[in-house]
Amino acid sequence: MDSAELQVVVGALHSSLTFREKSDRLSVVVPSDQLLSVAMKLRDSEPLSFDMLCAHTAIDWLKDEKIELIYQLYSTKHGHHLMMSVYVSRTEAVAVPSLHTVWQIAQWQEREVYDLFGICYSGHPDLRRILLEDDWKGFPLLKDYKDDFMLERPW
Instruction: Give the binding site for another protein (CB under 8 A).
Output: 20, 22-25, 27, 51-55, 57, 59-60, 70, 72, 76, 79, 81, 83, 92-95, 103-105, 107-109, 112, 114, 116, 118, 120-122, 124, 126-135, 140-141, 145, 147, 149-155
User: To the nearest whole angstrom, how small is the minimum distance from the Cβ of residue 20 to another protein?
Assistant: 8
Distance (Å, whole) CA 124 – CA 122: 5
User: To the nearest whole angstrom, how small is the minimum distance from the Cβ of residue 65 to another protein?
Assistant: 15
CB 100 within 8 Å of CB 35: no
User: To the nearest whole angstrom, how small is the minimum distance from the Cβ of residue 15 to another protein?
Assistant: 24
Pick 15 or 79: Cβ nearer another protein: 79
Characterise 93 by phi-psi region: left (phi > 0), alpha (psi -120 to 50), beta (else).
beta
Pick 13 or 58: Cβ nearer another protein: 58
User: To the nearest whole angstrom, how small is the minimum distance from the Cβ of residue 141 to another protein?
Assistant: 6
CB 16 within 8 Å of CB 31: yes
Distance (Å, whole) CA 99 – CA 102: 5
Instruction: Find the radius of gyration of the CA atoms of the chain.
Output: 17
Pick 15 or 92: Cβ nearer another protein: 92
Sign of the torsion formed by the C-alpha atoms of 129, 130, 131 and 133: positive
User: To the nearest whole angstrom, how small is the minimum distance from the Cβ of residue 19 to another protein?
Assistant: 13
Pick 12 or 62: Cβ nearer another protein: 62
DSSP-assigned letter for residue 33: G
